[in-house]
A and B are shown apart, each in its own frame.
Chain A
């Protein structure tokens, strides 16, 4: 059905020759490798959709089964031996009439896990970004695809939700983020009102978003989690969304170890609802992208020896213009000659093309004359004039790259403007934010700068100042929604006009507030992340990028203090209580009386008196004893009783 372009040219040379840099690029013979292939996925799909009839009618076309899915990989060398790889996977669901309720909906390859979410929350557009690393715009130029698919460091999510009221939209949003949190193993369930904003001028979709109920409105909602570490557990669900599941096709290259080893990487998911005005049918479109920049030298070094040992003396590359011998070497990094394969970069080759996509898996390499790229299949190397390759067989593909001068790369498109943000200030109670915009070109740049500040960072707009220009000329307008404690973040959108050839620093001050004790993260933390500022360039052309997140250190109380305070106050209260109690219950007398009483009433005399009394009583008892023994002879009784009585009398006195 789909005509195959004849793109593969055979270079009939064995590998050894290639490695000896003797590849001839003359197209000798063209071959077509496409063959009718039976879909292996059919059975699985019938089970899932439970509607074989619908399925058969629509999709089995001639004897090749294809689905609305396409995948593409763009490879582009960057200066200083870096390599940008951009994966693009596009999936569309079947067009259906969304307004009428259906018993069933067949989404085809569209991921089954996400559709109920979108439908339940009436999400018309969903954008997810997972990013890590630092984009070096000085060397690498503009972000891929004008930054539309790029987000900040961490996780970012924004969506257009159809709802009657803002409250309904927010409820849907919370439901959406909680579900996505589970799907992507990210802490999106921590998104609440205090992290959510409703962008006014940023993030506006260029396309019209369909509204199914005219009484409803579309609400654009956005949140970010800048301190979320993006890792393999986020990549796995990402790959699961793809019909090839990372088993075949280009996605088989996506190995977590390699993707996250990169200098910079960005995973993006964009889901859109698109409707056809003529037939009223709507469909979901899913666009998944992974862009990453790797340092080729580092990857090759790691492949050779994963332990970063110092290189052998013989392998040192020294600057010949400077003294070098067995003892010293001025290093010459970034070798100009490079040879590597795609499997060096990704750790494995492409295990077969995607056989169920409606288009062939496509790999394009953007290179200059100094570079050459070859497709390697079964030890054979193929090259094309356009450096684009279409893969359509179930066999292992690899790519071979060679550069005579690796610095000679396609000119990067310079960024219109760069921005960097830093938090400054001395001390724990207040601080300042400073964002520097640099426009090195001869055109003024108009942009919208969106900042979302957490509620505990109380920004003061009256302290807003501009260095490097007049505030009235630079700041065109400000949208400012102040924070509400624990409920809403500060939301600022500046419209700025950065004059040509200028550096503008926008700064303002803020206070740091104290949190409730339970709001501090457990243990001593390294601070609170402030989400990246979003810069959307409107003029002279559309471009979008972000600053780095910032780290805010809040005044953290010494949490052992309450314990000390409790102990101290208890001691004091005990002390005060006992003194007062003493005063209230004791008799006040003068010293002489006290001394007299002391001698009279001291414990010693008391005890002595007590002992006397006891002794006396014992004696009385003793005196009584003979009386009991009246059975002894009468003479004895009379004689013994008299002195005893006298004795008791004396002791009694």
Chain B
């Protein structure tokens, strides 16, 4: 206590409090810079750790994998049959669902012959064939799932994946070692069709096989026998990740069998590189992919989010030479055998982590401060708006109720928007949103409406405080989204009273660069279809059908704050002249 007293006295003596208050904006910027720099420091040696298998029962690759030799002949036999399907597909599955349905029926009969129980689930997004093997030695309460989408996330015919799924199903059925049921799922697409099946499985499917412990999706969109490396997708919706043990098992098994694992589209030539820049690239990509999870076309593993299912997708890349397709089959085989050993749920290892490489990770305690600092910057600039407003706090408080009411109304409008927009036509209202965002940002230069300065100050402060509350509660659950929103919404803190004309222009620019819809134009170019509404489309679909919260958080957390601050830029307080405002103290 004596030390604190001493410190306090020094602060008083040096007059630090007014100095700090005066420099709050600077402090807020410094915190943000430290927050961003924190991420840049993480890939340095000493800040990350090597992954390790935490659950001893898993024992990956301890048993020899037998999916090889003549199993390859059988796989080719199935593949020849599946190749005939391609004529029905015409690469346009929207117009040819009958052909796909009859192909699913054909495959259903193969599963029945092997000895699986099958069913085809129909949903508005496509049919899903699934087959269940009730393992004799299990108590019929748990299951492991192997899936291969008919068309993969790039809308290619997943010919190798389907052949692998069926030949692995046959191969698994011949064994008596399974302690968990086995489910094979073939959805038309790995996104909405699969998600609706997963939802149905947990609500109203008649053929079920107990709680699904983990899911492996296969993606091998080629007739080639060979591939070079495997891409691993693991990001889930709403910041949920599979248990790190599952990823470790997949990486260790795959590298044991031969193929290298590539994370976040690491290209082949960089697979063996492990330096600061490669780690930083994977880290930044992982933050990007995690915050875009559900919005971008999913690979299949996203569809299992939220049901306590640990899911990953394995995608074979670079076809034509390298490892043979049975190697790609041995990876899920060995993963299945590892999971089969589990006597409990996946719980030993991390659920919150960022990967820097297939075998490198950072746990939550190390990376959390970075977004935490940026969120703190919002609180500081919220304080700055009030403390450096030039008004006495007691005087400002009189306007408290009014500004609360205004902010409340804006929140209500955002809430209505969040529910209303998904119902409307996506393309049209996206253009309207962008247009109105731009108009709102720019027109404050020309149009002014009378709003009292006190209310403007309170509204700015309130909205910044509000976004910091939203972000700090999201911080632990969805770090990537928090970090991205915090970073992109940060320019909002610079918006100040537009006394001069150039400040008005700065305000407009700041508003434009911090608007989620306008920013989405930049993001959409990164998307597969490249159309400008893709981002918005993904946002709405993931909210409507996948159960992703991103849309809701963006509208209610970000857009509402943006709207409030945009409105304050319109305000002009005619009751005072410019000079008098800063003299009151």
Identify which of residues 176-233 in chain B touch chain A, using a CB-to-CB cut-off of 8 Å: 176, 202-208, 210-211, 213
The one of B74, B136, B176, B344 that contacts A316, using a Cβ cutoff of 8 Å: B74
Known: A330-B81, A333-B170, A549-B141. A422 touches B136 (CB 8 A): no
Contact, CB under 8 Å: B77 / A138:
no
The one of A261, A313, A503 that contacts B70, using a Cβ cutoff of 8 Å: A313
Q: Which residue of A lies closest to B213 (CB)?
A: A526
11 contacts between A and B (CB under 8 A): A134-B136, A154-B139, A262-B136, A310-B71, A322-B81, A328-B77, A333-B170, A424-B204, A505-B204, A526-B213, A551-B142
Is B500's CB within 8 Å of the partner chain A? no
Is A548's CB within 8 Å of the partner chain B? yes
Q: How far is the CB of B273 from chain A (nearest CB, A)?
A: 37
Q: Which residues of chain A have C-beta atoms less than 8 A from B29's C-beta?
A: none
Q: A153 to B117, alpha carbons, bound, how many Å?
A: 19
Is B258's CB within 8 Å of the partner chain A? no
Known: A133-B136, A328-B80, A331-B74. A436 touches B206 (CB 8 A): yes
Known: A80-B115, A420-B206, A548-B140. A328 touches B76 (CB 8 A): yes
Contact, CB under 8 Å: B80 / A323:
yes
Q: Which residues of chain A have C-beta atoms less than 8 A from B141's C-beta?
A: 527, 529, 548-551
Q: A434 to B344, alpha carbons, bound, how many Å?
A: 24
Is A226's CB within 8 Å of the partner chain B? yes
Q: A323 to B344, alpha carbons, bound, how many Å?
A: 45
Identify which of residues 304-338 in chain A touch chain B, using a CB-to-CB cut-off of 8 Å: 307-313, 316, 318-319, 322-324, 326-331, 333-334
Known: A308-B66, A426-B306, A548-B210. A333 touches B344 (CB 8 A): no
Contact, CB under 8 Å: B308 / A553:
yes
Q: How far is the CB of A242 from chain B (nearest CB, A)?
A: 25
Contact, CB under 8 Å: B77 / A329:
yes
Q: In the complex, how many residues of chain B place their beta carbon closer than 8 angstroms to a beta carbon of chain A?
A: 52
Since A229-B139, A328-B76 are in contact, a sample of 18 more A-B pairs with Cβ atoms closer than 8 Å, ordered by chain A residue number, is A133-B136, A133-B137, A136-B117, A226-B139, A261-B176, A302-B176, A312-B70, A328-B79, A328-B80, A330-B80, A331-B74, A331-B170, A420-B206, A424-B204, A425-B203, A434-B203, A526-B343, A529-B141
Q: Which residues of chain B have C-beta atoms less than 8 A from A527's C-beta?
A: 141, 211, 345
Q: Which residues of chain B have C-beta atoms less than 8 A from A134's C-beta?
A: 134-136, 138, 140
Contact, CB under 8 Å: A153 / B80:
no
Known: A310-B68, A334-B113, A505-B204. A549 touches B140 (CB 8 A): yes
Identify which of residues 588-603 in chain A touch chain B, using a CB-to-CB cut-off of 8 Å: 591, 594
The one of A311, A328, A524, A578 that contacts B1, using a Cβ cutoff of 8 Å: A578
Is B174's CB within 8 Å of the partner chain A? yes
Q: How far is the CB of B519 from chain A (nearest CB, A)?
A: 32
Q: How far is the CB of A246 from chain B (nearest CB, A)?
A: 23
Known: A322-B81, A548-B141. A308 touches B343 (CB 8 A): no
Identify which of residues 330-365 in chain B touch chain A, using a CB-to-CB cut-off of 8 Å: 342-345, 347-348
Is A341's CB within 8 Å of the partner chain B? no
Is A187's CB within 8 Å of the partner chain B? no
Is A389's CB within 8 Å of the partner chain B? no
Q: How far is the CB of A41 from chain B (nearest CB, A)?
A: 37
Identify which of residues 235-294 in chain B touch chain A, using a CB-to-CB cut-off of 8 Å: none
Contact, CB under 8 Å: B139 / A529:
yes
Q: A323 to B73, alpha carbons, bound, how many Å?
A: 11
Q: Which residues of chain A have C-beta atoms less than 8 A from B134's C-beta?
A: 134, 136
Q: Which residues of chain B have C-beta atoms less than 8 A from A99's C-beta?
A: none
Q: How far is the CB of B392 from chain A (nearest CB, A)?
A: 25
Is B114's CB within 8 Å of the partner chain A? yes
Q: A456 to B113, alpha carbons, bound, how many Å?
A: 41
Q: A617 to B441, alpha carbons, bound, how many Å?
A: 83
Contact, CB under 8 Å: A330 / B77:
yes
Is B545's CB within 8 Å of the partner chain A? no
The one of A334, A505, A594 that contacts B206, using a Cβ cutoff of 8 Å: A505
Q: A307 to B174, alpha carbons, bound, how many Å?
A: 12
Q: Which residues of chain A have C-beta atoms less than 8 A from B466's C-beta?
A: none
Contact, CB under 8 Å: B206 / A503:
yes
Q: Which residues of chain A have C-beta atoms less than 8 A from B68's C-beta?
A: 310
Q: How far is the CB of A608 from chain B (nearest CB, A)?
A: 20
The one of A311, A328, A525 that contacts B344, using a Cβ cutoff of 8 Å: A525
Q: Which residue of A lies closest to B133 (CB)?
A: A134
Is B501's CB within 8 Å of the partner chain A? no
Q: Which residue of A lies closest to B117 (CB)?
A: A138
Is A76's CB within 8 Å of the partner chain B? no
Q: Quick one: CB contact mask for A371-402 with B, threshold 8 Å, 1 for yes?
A: 00000000000000000000000000000000
Known: A425-B202, A503-B206. A331 touches B77 (CB 8 A): yes
Q: How far is the CB of A554 from chain B (nearest CB, A)?
A: 12
The one of A426, A551, A582 that contacts B202, using a Cβ cutoff of 8 Å: A426
Known: A422-B205, A578-B1. A153 touches B140 (CB 8 A): yes
Is A523's CB within 8 Å of the partner chain B? yes
Q: How far is the CB of B290 from chain A (nearest CB, A)?
A: 22
Contact, CB under 8 Å: B174 / A308:
yes
Q: A308 to B176, alpha carbons, bound, how many Å?
A: 10
Q: How far is the CB of A58 from chain B (nearest CB, A)?
A: 45
Known: A308-B175, A524-B344, A549-B139. A424 touches B113 (CB 8 A): no
Q: Which residue of B lies closest to A307 (CB)?
A: B66
Q: How far is the CB of B257 from chain A (nearest CB, A)?
A: 16
Q: Which residues of chain B have C-beta atoms less than 8 A from A154's C-beta?
A: 139
The one of B138, B170, B176 that contacts A298, using a Cβ cutoff of 8 Å: B176
Residue from B1, B66, B140, B345 having most chain A Cβ neighbours under 10 A? B140
Known: A138-B117, A526-B345, A579-B1. A438 touches B206 (CB 8 A): yes
The one of B73, B170, B342 that contacts A328, using a Cβ cutoff of 8 Å: B73
Q: Which residues of chain A have C-beta atoms less than 8 A from B207's C-beta?
A: 420
Q: How far is the CB of A592 from chain B (nearest CB, A)?
A: 12
Q: Which residues of chain B have C-beta atoms less than 8 A from A578's C-beta?
A: 1
Q: A229 to B390, alpha carbons, bound, how many Å?
A: 75
The one of B78, B138, B205, B344 that contacts A523, using a Cβ cutoff of 8 Å: B344
Q: Which residues of chain A have C-beta atoms less than 8 A from B138's C-beta?
A: 134
Known: A264-B136, A308-B66, A548-B210. A322 touches B77 (CB 8 A): yes
Known: A262-B136, A526-B344. A426 touches B78 (CB 8 A): no
Is A132's CB within 8 Å of the partner chain B? yes
Q: A467 to B203, alpha carbons, bound, how many Å?
A: 12
Is A366's CB within 8 Å of the partner chain B? no
By Cβ-Cβ distance, the 8 closest A-B pairs, closest first, are: A328-B76, A134-B134, A330-B77, A548-B140, A551-B141, A524-B347, A422-B208, A310-B69
Q: How far is the CB of A192 from chain B (nearest CB, A)?
A: 21
Is A485's CB within 8 Å of the partner chain B? no
The one of A301, A307, A420, A579 that contacts B208, using a Cβ cutoff of 8 Å: A420
Is B494's CB within 8 Å of the partner chain A? no
Is A358's CB within 8 Å of the partner chain B? no
Contact, CB under 8 Å: B77 / A551:
no
Is B52's CB within 8 Å of the partner chain A? no
Q: Quick one: CB contact mask for B75-106 with A, threshold 8 Å, 1 for yes?
A: 01111110000000000000000000000000
Q: A424 to B80, alpha carbons, bound, how many Å?
A: 39
Q: Which residues of chain A have C-beta atoms less than 8 A from B176's C-beta?
A: 261, 298, 302
Q: How far is the CB of A114 from chain B (nearest CB, A)?
A: 27
Identify which of residues 39-77 in chain B touch chain A, using a CB-to-CB cut-off of 8 Å: 66-71, 73-74, 76-77
Q: Quick one: CB contact mask for A558-582 with B, threshold 8 Å, 1 for yes?
A: 0000000000000000000011001
Q: Which residues of chain B have C-beta atoms less than 8 A from A436's C-beta?
A: 206
Q: How far is the CB of A113 from chain B (nearest CB, A)?
A: 29
Q: How far is the CB of B181 from chain A (nearest CB, A)?
A: 8
Q: Which residues of chain B have C-beta atoms less than 8 A from A308's C-beta?
A: 66, 174-175
Q: A80 to B112, alpha carbons, bound, how many Å?
A: 11
Q: Which residue of B lies closest to A264 (CB)?
A: B136
Is A263's CB within 8 Å of the partner chain B? yes
Is B307's CB within 8 Å of the partner chain A? yes
Q: Which residues of chain B have C-beta atoms less than 8 A from A153's C-beta?
A: 139-140
Known: A133-B137, A331-B77. A310 touches B70 (CB 8 A): yes
